[in-house]
Structure 1
């Protein structure tokens, strides 16, 4: 893609044409304020940019349409756009015309037939930008987008304020979000990012969306299963309350089957015992609660009895131990038999007192044996009673759910005025419940689908992780950097003896000295900054052109020789004059610059188009043959003096 010509149209129908050489060096030189710097804005405007950045003045006031004819291999494309008009700063409408050999149309033939989106799509496709999506990490907050012709602007225009700027290498690099866009899209434009990767990432995004949707369905299904039984019981109670089926129906019958039968309900006369269902449930609840209290009383009494038995056993044991101690009294030394202390001799256990005490010990033994024998029975009894208490509690909870549903149904009956309306509402809720009730087969299908999607996503992530785009980008940047040092030396830049490279992380030029790297912002002198800028861009375009990558084959440089003049005032005063250039400029540096640019289009990247807008002029034949037009010496040169303003009411289109 190159620039064949630029065309401007007046409000009265006249046309101004600027023709370019398709191959090699093009130079437009002349005085200040002649419209040279506006050429890059016109080209960008006609490449699909809606913002109208042409400075205020005669061009805005006197030009009604702008057009550029782009040359492709075997085809030409004309893009024309109307001036936004007074007070407006953008325009997105356009005219597109294609053909093997296009001539600039007359003013009367200009008409809108497309917009900037169509221009971007067409130029992107014709230049060969592949289908793509920027490689934005999936967990990143910013979204992926497609690289298109707009993302080539950074490398096509070196405007007056940028060409020797040490802090900004690329056009628009200083604008918000643009540095990241450069980093995202340059690998695509250099053919580094794998096209297969874009396809895999698109498939992964689609797959992850499907997983999220399936996951929500699965979560809803699991939640519905967990709550379905309780909801079903409530619906059955509501259905009974509003008379959909008899209150005694449902014992042993499947819940879902019972609810399906409710769908066949038809309106019937309202029965007179609307409150009977609530009263019955309340009566049942009262009886169940009384039963629960009675069981609890039995449990409490049993526990107290057990505690008292333990106390008796303990007390009886102590008494028995004290009584048994009489057997430990000393024996008579004379007879060797057991002897009561402090009594007459030979008073042994056969005495009445001893017999009574021994009988008491035997009675205590029998009572303690009886207490111990009752303990297992007490524990078994407590287990039975507690089981019964739990069963009654479950019945109470079920009845409370039924009562709540019955009360709610009766309230609905009172609000709606009749039971039929309430029954219709219940039938609707039953229908919704059954529709959302997931069969076991559907649950199994959702779970199987989740496993399948996860396995496929894992496989895609492994394939994406195996992509070697990072290594290929490093190799490409090394190839570009290989030529940068030579261009820096040819342009007279400092540190040309050391390797130079394009730093994509900081978007700048780095000189790799043995001791430490030197970044462009830390270098001095406008000549050095110009050399670094042009070296980076020429090396980048050389790689793209020689490897058939989708970058336009032109570069527009605005006023690069300003760094070779003593001051901006002296540079502006040159005004396209050969004599002034030879008198005031560093002539050797100026000639060296243009020779590097000429050689680039003739040898390094054959057929590459370089357009330079300048104040300097050289008498060399090759330079003069590169001039697009004679120096623009009388402002304005791009727009004729006799073109009318937009506000001129006398301006009208001249018929062709």
Structure 2
């Protein structure tokens, strides 16, 4: 398969793709659009055998539970420079939250603990449980409806006997169920022998008209009482306010009583006891107080007069209320008498329409009861659903799934322990465990008294060693499965960077081209050589079914004598992975 993606130009990205799938594929000079990215991903998903089912049984609430995709498998395919010796991130793209959570979800699937069949069973279980709940609810509703109908059916049985529609029907027994009543009542709609008494024509109509007139009169009187009651409430509130205002005026009047005495004692002009000059100021002030006194007295008299009018109005309204309440009692007594007579009349008469209505209601009730009667087919369907659900739950045994995952992790951990001895980490003999919850490895002390996570183990060489060992172990396990969705290749970029962080010692220094190249030490060469020996061991253990692609600036001296290594190209002096003419 040859795949190419269009240059996006000014856009951030493009979905235009070139895809050619055949037994023999030729490189084209000018690729053209044959599909889009979605079509390519779907085809790669098909080739990888990835299911179209999600991990939530069809009810996805989080993107982490979406179906597995070929893009998710990239976590096991690539170890770029920023990942291959990263103490905190073991897998490609697992340094972002979304990819990290999705990887946790798919891990049991790629390890074979969860299969396509299990995902299909999860979806089926969700649907069966939903159907079982709906049918159980329907059955319970039918049971409840049938239990509710038993009271009505018993009442209908008694009414039918009262009307003489079941002359020879036996008395109901205490051990009768609803079917005993139904069996006898079903005869009523078929019976035509109805003994119907005669009644006076028009009596019901006259009684109804008179009752309606009394109801209307009662409503009118009640409305008038409500209006007067509201008015009385407002007048009494006003009366109380006037009373309080009058008391305040009386208090002011009492305080001003002494003004007359001052008027008698103070003349128009008075002499100042200090300077002997004449002054009218005292007389003027007394005149003002006299005017205020007169105003208060006039206001008090007006309030007294208004209170008399208000009291008369309140008394009139109270009398009107008493009269209306008397009329209301008379109307209600009359109405009650007519209703009592009407009830007596209805109790005595059994009109043709009334019996027909009863028979019609009974017939409808029997039809409805047939609908809500418990259907044996519904019970049988529930039994079949329950049996299938139990069967699926046995197959989806979480403990069995946990056991399969544990076995897979044990195999992978043992493979990792094998590879770390080749790549020579500091603690090659300590037990190792792949932690799929935290997406890292744990190194245990031999006595298992302590476990150290990857980020707790020092040196970039150790981190790189565990990265490569873990990825080789995973691919060895994937290839041992009958079916694996993970493509059998692994790309590793610059694993020797932990020893030569800037460049290979034999290369020219771009910052100082005149400086003679350094010769790498034998110790450095040996350490890088262990990386390639470990990779070669991975090819050997997988019988060359795994393809390893290493992009490395270390020279050929680091892999001399190691089998299965093929130098594809040497990118130096301006030559790189992407040709200049591209």
Unaligned runs of 5+ in 2: 154-162, 167-181, 190-201, 216-339, 348-360
Q: Is the 8 A contact 1:556 1:612 kept in 2?
A: yes
Aligned residues: 396
Q: Is the 8 A contact 1:502 1:508 kept in 2?
A: yes
Matched, 1:153 2:82: no
Matched, 1:94 2:29: no
Note the C-alpha offset of 1:591: 2.0
* Equivalent residue number for residue 328 of structure 2: none
Q: Is the 8 A contact 1:194 1:467 kept in 2?
A: no
Matched, 1:80 2:15: no
Q: SS where residue 161 of structure 1 aligns?
A: helix
Note the C-alpha offset of 1:597: 1.7
The structure 1 residue matched to 2:444, chosen from 502, 512, 530, is 512
Note the C-alpha offset of 1:83: 3.1
TM-score of the superposition, structure 2-length normalised?
0.56
* Equivalent residue number for residue 486 of structure 1: 418
Cα separation, 2, equivalents of 1:252 and 1:115 = 79
Q: SS where residue 172 of structure 1 aligns?
A: coil
Matched, 1:187 2:108: yes
The structure 2 residue matched to 1:457, chosen from 362, 385, 389, is 389
Note the C-alpha offset of 1:202: 2.6
* Equivalent residue number for residue 289 of structure 2: none
Hey, which of these two has a bigger chunk of helix by percent?
2
Matched, 1:439 2:370: yes
Matched, 1:544 2:468: no
Note the C-alpha offset of 1:141: 5.8
Q: 1:216 to 1:593 in 2, by over 3 A?
A: same
Q: Structure 1, residues 20-76: CA drift from partner, whole Å, max 9, x if none?
A: xxxxxxxxxxxxxxxxxxxxxxxxxxxxxxxxxxxxxxxxxxxxxxxxxxxxxxxxx
Cα separation, 2, equivalents of 1:230 and 1:223 = 12
RMSD over aligned Cα, in angstroms?
5.0
Cα separation, 1, equivalents of 2:85 and 2:210 = 92
Unaligned runs of 5+ in 1: 1-76, 233-249, 261-272, 287-391, 400-429, 644-656
Q: 1:587 to 1:206 in 2, by over 3 A?
A: same
Note the C-alpha offset of 1:583: 6.3
Q: Is the 8 A contact 1:163 1:533 kept in 2?
A: yes
The structure 2 residue matched to 1:118, chosen from 32, 36, 39, is 39
Q: SS where residue 386 of structure 2 aligns?
A: helix
Q: SS where residue 96 of structure 1 aligns?
A: strand
Note the C-alpha offset of 1:214: 2.7
Q: SS where residue 92 of structure 2 aligns?
A: coil
Structure number with the bigger relative contact order (C-alpha 8 A, sep ≥ 6) is 1
Aligned pairs for 1:19-98 (under 5 A) are 77-89=1-13, 91-98=14-21
Matched, 1:500 2:435: no
* Equivalent residue number for residue 560 of structure 1: 495
Q: Is the 8 A contact 2:571 2:577 kept in 1?
A: no
* Equivalent residue number for residue 331 of structure 2: none
Q: SS where residue 612 of structure 1 aligns?
A: strand
Q: 1:132 to 1:482 in 2, by over 3 A?
A: farther
Q: Structure 1, residues 89-129: CA drift from partner, whole Å, max 9, x if none?
A: 4x44433322111112341x5222x3333323322332344
Matched, 1:176 2:102: no
Note the C-alpha offset of 1:441: 6.6
* Equivalent residue number for residue 268 of structure 1: none
Q: Structure 1, residues 577-597: CA drift from partner, whole Å, max 9, x if none?
A: 995572699222122212322
* Equivalent residue number for residue 596 of structure 1: 534
Q: Is the 8 A contact 2:409 2:434 kept in 1?
A: yes
* Equivalent residue number for residue 358 of structure 1: none
Q: Structure 1, residues 523-561: CA drift from partner, whole Å, max 9, x if none?
A: 111001001111111111112224454221111112211
Aligned pairs for 1:295-310 (under 5 A) are none
Q: SS where residue 33 of structure 2 aligns?
A: coil
Aligned pairs for 1:181-580 (under 5 A) are 181-215=102-136, 217-218=138-139, 276=205, 279=208, 437=368, 439-440=370-371, 443-444=374-375, 445-465=377-397, 468-513=400-445, 514=447, 515-550=449-484, 551-565=486-500, 567-568=501-502, 580=518
Q: Is the 8 A contact 1:156 1:555 kept in 2?
A: yes
Cα separation, 2, equivalents of 1:540 and 1:277 = 96
Note the C-alpha offset of 1:210: 1.4
Note the C-alpha offset of 1:278: 9.6
Cα separation, 2, equivalents of 1:188 and 1:517 = 26
TM-score of the superposition, structure 1-length normalised?
0.50
Q: Is the 8 A contact 1:79 1:97 kept in 2?
A: yes
Cα separation, 1, equivalents of 2:205 and 2:10 = 83
Q: 1:211 to 1:626 in 2, by over 3 A?
A: same
Q: Structure 1, residues 364-392: CA drift from partner, whole Å, max 9, x if none?
A: xxxxxxxxxxxxxxxxxxxxxxxxxxxx9
Cα separation, 1, equivalents of 2:32 and 2:74 = 26
Q: 1:625 to 1:543 in 2, by over 3 A?
A: closer
Note the C-alpha offset of 1:477: 1.4
Cα separation, 2, equivalents of 1:163 and 1:277 = 101
